[in-house]
């Protein structure tokens, strides 16, 4: 099977990619930092997996569309797409600018939505799975991470809505809340 992990250059994304490879998947890893992706791809290949590093900024819709087409062409389709790319803007609500909020929501929410949008045609062909990486912050807000908590609550709501939309289509949805 072919799996795509966004934000796979480090952290949870890298760990997901390594586990998918351990389970026998060919893994496309994407993110903004090409060197990190190349390092992860080498690690995946050293473990015996087929790996494809694809530089992609999930805040750029054209970049996401290009990444999906590259993955489908190079690896022969897609069975799993994991919308993991994200980060946290820290600061009190009164200290965060509109630009801080836009960066937070563009990456964590809009980036996940575009990952789903462009992966879905390929996942429909394979009756695959979309996974959205949320956070316990969607359930337990904390001070000075309100923007992050709001973004992860939106990811949760998006995933629940998507599961309803896809019911009966053969494509399943998981929401992971580390």
Residue 5 confidence (pLDDT): 98
* Residue 54 β-bridge partners: 30
Residue 23 confidence (pLDDT): 96
Residue 119 confidence (pLDDT): 98
Instruction: Give the distance from CA 161 to its chain's centroid.
Output: 17
Residue 14 confidence (pLDDT): 98
Residue 142 confidence (pLDDT): 93
Q: Which of 39, 41, 126, 138 is nearest to 81 (CA)?
A: 126
Residues 6+ positions from 60 with CB-CB distance below 8 Å? none
SS3 label, residue 30 = strand
Residue 31 confidence (pLDDT): 97
118 is catalytic: no
Of the candidates 30, 41, 148, 150, the residue annotated as catalytic is 148
* Residue 55 β-bridge partners: 31
Write the pLDDT tens digit of every residue in 101-136. 999 999 999 999 999 999 999 999 999 999 999 999
pLDDT in tens, the chain (178 residues): 999 999 999 999 999 999 999 999 999 999 999 999 999 999 999 999 999 999 999 999 999 999 999 999 999 999 999 999 999 999 999 999 999 999 999 999 999 999 999 999 999 999 999 999 999 999 998 999 999 999 999 999 999 999 999 999 999 999 999 9
142 and 100 Cβ atoms separated by less than 8 Å? no
Residue 37 confidence (pLDDT): 98
């Amino acid at each position: 099977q072919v799996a795509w992990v966004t934000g796979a250059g480090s952290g949870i994304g890298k760990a997901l990619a390594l586990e998918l490879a351990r389970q026998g998947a060919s893994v496309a890893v994407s993110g903004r930092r090409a060197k990190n992706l190349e390092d992860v791809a080498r690690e995946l290949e050293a473990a015996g997996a087929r790996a494809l590093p694809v530089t992609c900024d999930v805040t750029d819709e054209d970049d996401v569309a290009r990444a999906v087409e590259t993955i489908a062409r190079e690896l022969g389709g897609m069975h799993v797409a994991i919308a993991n790319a994200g980060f946290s803007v820290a600061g009190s609500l009164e200290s965060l600018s509109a630009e801080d909020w836009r960066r937070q929501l563009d990456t964590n929410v809009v980036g996940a939505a575009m990952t789903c949008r462009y992966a879905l045609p390929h996942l429909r062909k394979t009756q695959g799975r979309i996974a959205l990486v949320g956070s316990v912050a969607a359930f337990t807000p904390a001070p000075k991470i309100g923007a992050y908590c709001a973004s992860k609550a939106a990811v949760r709501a998006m995933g629940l809505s998507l599961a309803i939309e896809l019911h009966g289509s053969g494509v399943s949805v998981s929401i992971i809340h580390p």
